């Protein structure tokens, strides 16, 4: 297991997938989205799960304009789900204009971050811990990583407080 990403670390590169507005599946490197920019990268244990769907993602959608006004150029949501699930999940937020839903289908990138969460005993396989990173030109400035099923340090408000 990779060491957990922490403040001061350089964000590792990796390839994630998403569907663009023309319904084309694209594979994109994290570095191409984050190099030279201030970005928020937040991870959730699973699409369509209660805390993720009702609290974590809506918070970033609601606070997106405020985050952008403080210099955040990209707001990236990643989950260990396939790109088709992420596309369907994104469509449940018609008001979303700024959050990109990125699929890490095999948890490869989540492993590189050291943020995997083994939920095999719950029938979910390997997932991501809940987290939010504030990254400036690939350097981690804030790392809110949750324990277990908690939601205390990785919200949009937590990132806003740090900006």
Query: What residues does 127 pair with on adjacent strands?
Result: 117
Angle at 22 between CA 20 and CA 23, to 5 degrees: 70
Cα 32–chain centre separation = 15
Instruction: Name the active-site residue from 16, 39, 41, 52.
Output: 52
What distance in Å separates the CA atoms of residue 116 and residue 126, rounded to the nearest whole number? 7
The CA–CA distances, whole Å, from 103 to 2, 7, 49, 80 equal: 20, 24, 15, 6
77 is catalytic: no
What distance in Å separates the CA atoms of residue 88 and residue 5, rounded to the nearest whole number? 29
Query: Which residues have a catalytic role annotated?
Result: 52
């Amino acid at each position: 297991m990779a060491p957990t990403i922490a403040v001061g670390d350089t964000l590792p590169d990796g390839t994630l997938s998403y569907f663009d507005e023309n319904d084309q599946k694209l594979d994109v490197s994290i570095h191409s989205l984050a190099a030279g920019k201030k970005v928020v990268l937040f991870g959730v244990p699973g699409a369509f799960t209660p805390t993720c769907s009702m609290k974590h993602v809506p918070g970033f959608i609601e606070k997106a304009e405020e985050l952008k006004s403080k210099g955040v150029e990209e707001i990236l949501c990643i989950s260990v789900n396939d790109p088709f699930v992420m596309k369907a999940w994104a469509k449940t937020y018609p008001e979303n204009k700024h959050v990109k839903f990125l699929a890490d289908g095999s948890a490869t990138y989540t492993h590189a971050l050291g943020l995997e969460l083994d939920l095999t005993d719950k029938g979910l396989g390997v997932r991501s811990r809940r987290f939010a990173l504030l990254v400036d030109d690939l350097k981690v400035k804030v790392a809110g990583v949750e324990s277990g099923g908690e939601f205390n340090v990785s919200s949009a408000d937590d990132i806003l407080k740090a900006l």
